[in-house]
Structure 1
Amino acid sequence: MDPLAGVRGPDDPYCDVYLTGTVFLDVIFTGLDHAPVRGTESWARGMGSSPGGIANMATALARLGLRTSLAAPFGDDMYGDYCRDALARGEGVDLSLSRTVPGWHSPVTVSMAYEGERTMVSHGHDAPPEDPAPEGDRVCPPPARACVAALEPGEEREWIATAAGRGSRVFGDVGWDESGRWDLASLGGLEHCEAFLPNAAEAMRYTRTDCPRAAAHRLAERVPLAVVTMGADGAYAVDARTGETAEVPAIEVAALDTTGAGDVFVAGFVMGTLAGWPLADRLACAGLTAALSVQEFGGSLSAPGWVEVAAWYRHVRSSADQDPAALRRYGFLDALLPGCARPWPLRRAAPTIGFRAP
C-alpha cells in the first residue's frame, strides 16, 4: 500500500525518506525473570536476531510503504551479509548508497528484556572513512521528500544542511546525552529540522523544565514542530507555525520488548506528515505503530506493517467495550486500510542466523 499515492506528482523525487547511520546485528533475549546477576547464569525463555541500529528506522519506514534509502557501512562478515539481505530483499530498502567494508566486522548489540525494561551491551568499531565518490556516482544525500537525522551533541553533520538545502524536510531524532550537558546549542543540524522528536526525559533535560508539555512549548521556540513522547502517557506536540497543540494518549498493550519503539514512532509520524495528515492523526498513528511493535521482540522486525494495523483496527471496532471517543480518534484509518495488501505474515526476528534451505 502506498500512503502517499494521493500526494505524489510526476516531478517528485523517487526517494521518500533518506537516512544514514550504523547497522548493528541485534541479539535479543526475552522472558528473563530479573536482571542478570553477577556470578550467575541466567536463562531466557525467548531469543531473536535481527538488524538493529539505524535498521530499526529504515525497516519501520519501509513497512509503512515509504520508499526508503539507507546509506550505511556493512561488514563483509556473515552478520553483515545477513543484515544487508534482511533489509534489501526482505524489506525493500534501497541500499544503493551503502557500502561493504572489507575486513570490518559488524557491530553487535545484545539486548535483555525483563520487567518491561531492557539492558543492552554493544560492541563495535567505527567504520573506516569512505573514499570520495567517483565523478558520476549517485549524489548523497539523494533528493528526497524527507530525511531522518540522529542528532548528537557536539557532532556537526554537513549532510543535514545539504539535504535541507535541496528541499528535504528534516526530522530530528536524539538519544541520551552521555556528557550530561544537555545543551540544545550543541545539537548540530537542529536549526535545519522541521520537527524534533525527543522523549520526555530528554526534552525536560534539554529545556530545564519539569513537565513534558512545558518542554514541548520551550522546544517549539527553536524548531517549527516539537513532538515529545511520554511513554504510557502518550505524546504531545506543538506546531510553532500555527500555534496548534495536540495530545494523544497511549494504547495500553502488554510490552514484550521495547527495543526500537521510538524509531517506529518517528517513522509513523514522518509517514503521516508526508501524507499531509492533521497533527493529532499523525500522533495517533505514530503511537499506534509503536504500541504494536512492543508486542513482538526484535527492534527492526517487530515494526508493524499495514496488515497488522488493519488487524488491530478490525479487532477494536468489533469489541463491545471500546470507548466510542477512542474509535473516533483512529477514524482516519477508515479511508486508508481498504487498500492494504502487504503479504502476511511479516518477517519476524528468528532465533538464529542463516538457516540452510532444505
Structure 2
Amino acid sequence: MPACGNEPSHQSREYTVTSRDSRTSRTADLDPLDSAAADLDPLGPLRDPLEPGFDVYLTGTVFLDIIFTGLDSAPVRGTESWARGMGSSPGGVANMATALARLGLRTSLAAAFGDDHYGEYCWDALEQGEGIDLSMSRTIPGWHSPVTVSMAYEGERTMVSHGHEAPPPAGPGPFPQCPPRTRAAVASLARGRTEPWVAEAARRGARIFADVGWDESGRWDLAALPDLEHCEAFLPNAGEAMRYTRTDCPRAAARALAEKVPVAVVTMGAEGSYAVDGRTGETAEVPGIAVEELDPTGAGDVYVAGFVTGTLAGWPLGDRLAFAGLTAALSVQEFGGSLSAPGWPEVAHWWRTVPETLRPRYGFLDALVPPGGEPASRRRAVPTIGFRHPV
C-alpha cells in the first residue's frame, strides 16, 4: 500500500480511453433530466466555503481486473473453458473509489500505478473517466501493474491474482498532509496491521468507515484490529461478523460489534443487511433486492460507498441500508467491479420503474432524483483495456 508522498503529478496521456459499445460512450447526448441526475450532489445542502477539500479519502492497491462471465461451471483441470462474456476494468481499491465518485462524492485516492499500459489505462479511467483526484497517487517506473482474473459462475466467483508490493516512495513523505482534509475516509482493516493515516485522519475530524478481509490465521480476534478504535462504522459481512463475535446469528453479531464501534453494519448477501447504532440503540434491517446477477465483483465495495454517501448526507439508518443495498444490487447486473458501479442516473431509472411493493421502503428517493427520462450512458467494462481512437 503506497504512502502519501510528494512525487510529481502524473503526466497527461496522448490517447483517451474509449469504448466500442454504444452504451458506454461518455460523450453521448444525455436527456436533460438525466443530466440533472448525473450532476446530483447528495451533500449539496451541507456544503460551505470552509468545508474540507474532499468528501472521502482512501488508499490501497489498484489492480487491472479481467472478468470472465457466462461460465456454466468452475474451470475443470485439464480442460479449456469458454466464457460467453468478458470485461476489463480497474479493480482493487478502484472499485470503491469509482463507486463513491459516481454517487457524487469528491473522492481522493492514494495508490501506486505501474508505468505499463495497464497502469496508464487504470490512471486515465479513474482520473479522466471518473473525476477521481489522484494528486496523492504516484507512478512507479519499472513496476508492473497487479492483475486479477475473475471468473463468475452460479452467483459465485473465483479469482487468480498476480502482483508485487509497490516499493515505498523515496525519502520521507509529508505525513502531516496525508491524508488531505476530508469529511470521511474508508479503511480496510487487517489483522495486526496499523495504518498511521487512519489515526491522523480521525484526529483531523474525518469519519472513518471500515471493512475487513478474511482472517487467514483463523483467530478472528477484534483486538488484532487496532484501527477499529478510530472508526465510526464497521461493515463486515455475516461470516466475518459472526466469527469475530463468536455468535451464530448476524443480528447478534451486529449487536456485539456495536459495543466496540459506534455503528455496526452486517451484510447478509441476498437477505439484505442489519445495523445497530450503539450510541442511540437504534436498529434497522432491510431485505435484499432480487435481481438477475451477472457479476458480483465489487458489490461489497459499492455497498460501502452507498452507506458512506447516506451517512454523510445525514439520512436515517434504515435509508442508508436501503440505498447501499440498492446500489450493490444495481452493480451486480454489469461486468466488473469499478465500472459496474451505478450513479444517480441508474438510481433514478430504477426508482421510476420500481415495483409498487418496494416503493414505501425507498420513498426517500422521491426527494433526491428528478422524475422521467432514461438512464444516462456510462462507461462499462469491455473486453479490451481501451481503444486508442474513437470508433
Q: Given the two structures, how large is their TM-score scaled by the length of structure 2?
A: 0.87
Aligned mates of 1:210, 1:28 — CA distance in 2: 34
Structure 1 equivalent of residue 381 of structure 2: 349
RMSD: 1.6
* Shift >4 Å, 4+ stretches: 339-343
Describe how 1:8-23 pairs up with structure 2 within 5 A.
8-23=47-62
Structure 2 equivalent of residue 70 of structure 1: 109
Query: CA distance change for structure 1 residues 63 and 351 in 2, over 3 Å: closer, same or farther?
Result: same
Query: CA distance change for structure 1 residues 132 and 165 in 2, over 3 Å: closer, same or farther?
Result: farther
Aligned mates of 1:97, 1:343 — CA distance in 2: 32
Structure 1 equivalent of residue 364 of structure 2: 332
Q: Once the two structures are superposed, what CA deviation does each residue of 1:5-27 show, in whole Å capped at 9, x if it has no partner? A: 01112211020000000000000
Q: Which moved more, 1:299-308 or 1:348-357?
A: 348-357
Aligned mates of 1:44, 1:20 — CA distance in 2: 32
Q: Of residues 245, 248, 253 in structure 1, which corresponds to 2:283?
A: 245
Gaps of 5+ in 1: none
The answer to whether the Cα contact below 8 Å between 1:307 and 1:340 also exists between their aligned partners in 2 is no
The answer to whether the Cα contact below 8 Å between 2:114 and 2:140 also exists between their aligned partners in 1 is yes
1:38 equivalenced with 2:77 (yes/no):
yes
Structure 1 equivalent of residue 321 of structure 2: 283
The answer to whether the Cα contact below 8 Å between 1:198 and 1:229 also exists between their aligned partners in 2 is yes
1:101 equivalenced with 2:140 (yes/no):
yes
Aligned mates of 1:4, 1:70 — CA distance in 2: 19
Describe how 1:127-276 pairs up with structure 2 within 5 A.
127-132=166-171, 139-276=177-314
Gaps of 5+ in 2: 1-39
- Give the C-alpha shift of residue 254 in structure 1: 1.1
The answer to whether the Cα contact below 8 Å between 2:349 and 2:375 also exists between their aligned partners in 1 is no
- Give the C-alpha shift of residue 344 in structure 1: 2.1
The answer to whether the Cα contact below 8 Å between 1:152 and 1:188 also exists between their aligned partners in 2 is no
The answer to whether the Cα contact below 8 Å between 1:73 and 1:98 also exists between their aligned partners in 2 is yes
Identity of aligned residues (%): 75
- Give the C-alpha shift of residue 175 in structure 1: 1.1
Q: Which moved more, 1:37-46 or 1:137-146?
A: 137-146
Query: CA distance change for structure 1 residues 270 and 7 in 2, over 3 Å: closer, same or farther?
Result: same
Amino acid at match of 1:57: M
Aligned mates of 1:100, 1:347 — CA distance in 2: 24
Q: Once the two structures are superposed, what CA deviation does each residue of 1:210-261 show, in whole Å capped at 9, x if it has no partner? A: 0000000000010000000001110000000000000000000111110000
Question: SS in structure 2 opposite 1:226?
Answer: strand
Amino acid at match of 1:36: P
Q: Which moved more, 1:126-135 or 1:140-149?
A: 126-135
The answer to whether the Cα contact below 8 Å between 2:349 and 2:374 also exists between their aligned partners in 1 is no
The answer to whether the Cα contact below 8 Å between 2:346 and 2:375 also exists between their aligned partners in 1 is no
The answer to whether the Cα contact below 8 Å between 2:297 and 2:337 also exists between their aligned partners in 1 is yes
Aligned mates of 1:116, 1:346 — CA distance in 2: 24
- Give the C-alpha shift of residue 296 in structure 1: 0.6
Q: Given the two structures, how large is their TM-score scaled by the length of structure 1?
A: 0.95
Structure 1 equivalent of residue 123 of structure 2: 84
The answer to whether the Cα contact below 8 Å between 2:352 and 2:371 also exists between their aligned partners in 1 is no
The answer to whether the Cα contact below 8 Å between 1:307 and 1:341 also exists between their aligned partners in 2 is no
The answer to whether the Cα contact below 8 Å between 2:56 and 2:183 also exists between their aligned partners in 1 is yes
